[in-house]
């Protein structure tokens, strides 16, 4: 068994060691060694560690923004080629594919994390 100290004001904030100075501010929880607490928060009602869905959704939203930015950069380059009249057929196809991808990506529901359904990125 290992001891986990869970912050009473923020159940997604916990530490294993060292023990905090002010123990009164923490729930003291014993868990089996080897238990994976990644992306977990402590549920005071059930006295169990559960998935921190809010944190997962926020992380998914951050990832979505990062991917949207990368897609926009690809679109901008292809669009520049089209606007300048120098686009190849491959660039024109890529432009349409990346624009469709960006729209599909904008519709992704990050609140379903960790089971987010990401669209397939164009090649």
9-40 pLDDT, tens digit per residue, is: 998 888 888 889 899 999 999 999 988 998 99
Domain that holds residue 9: 2-51
Q: Around Cβ 58, how many Cβ atoms within 10 Å?
A: 14
Asked whether residue 119 is assigned to any structural domain, the reply reads no
Domain total for the chain? 2
Give the distance between the most distant pair of CA atoms in the chain: 69
Residues 78 and 41 in one domain: no
In a domain? residue 26: yes
If asked whether residues 47 and 15 sit together in one domain, one would say: yes
Q: Would you say residue 5 has pLDDT above 90?
A: yes
pLDDT band at 53 (very low <50, low <70, confident <90, very high): very high
Q: Within 13 Å and on the Cβ side, how many CA atoms surround 4?
A: 24
pTM score, two decimals? Answer: 0.74
Residue 118 lies in a domain: no
Q: What percent of the chain stands above pLDDT 70?
A: 100
36 and 73 share one domain: no
Both 36 and 64 in one domain: the answer is: no
pLDDT given for residue 30 in this prediction: 93
Counting runs of H as helices and runs of E as strands, what totals does the chain give? 2, 5
DSSP state letter for 112? G
Count of residues making up the chain: 123
């Amino acid at each position: 068994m290992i001891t986990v100290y869970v912050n009473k004001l923020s159940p997604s904030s916990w530490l294993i060691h060292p023990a905090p100075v002010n123990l009164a501010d923490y729930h003291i929880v014993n868990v089996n060694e080897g238990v994976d607490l990644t992306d977990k928060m402590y549920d005071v009602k059930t006295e169990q560690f559960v998935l921190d869905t809010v944190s997962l959704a926020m992380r998914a939203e951050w990832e979505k923004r990062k991917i949207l930015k990368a897609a926009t950069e690809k679109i901008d380059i292809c669009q520049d080629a089209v606007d300048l009249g120098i686009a190849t057929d491959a660039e024109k196809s890529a432009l349409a594919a990346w624009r469709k991808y960006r729209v599909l990506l904008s519709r992704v529901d990050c609140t379903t994390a960790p089971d987010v359904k990401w669209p397939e990125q164009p090649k």
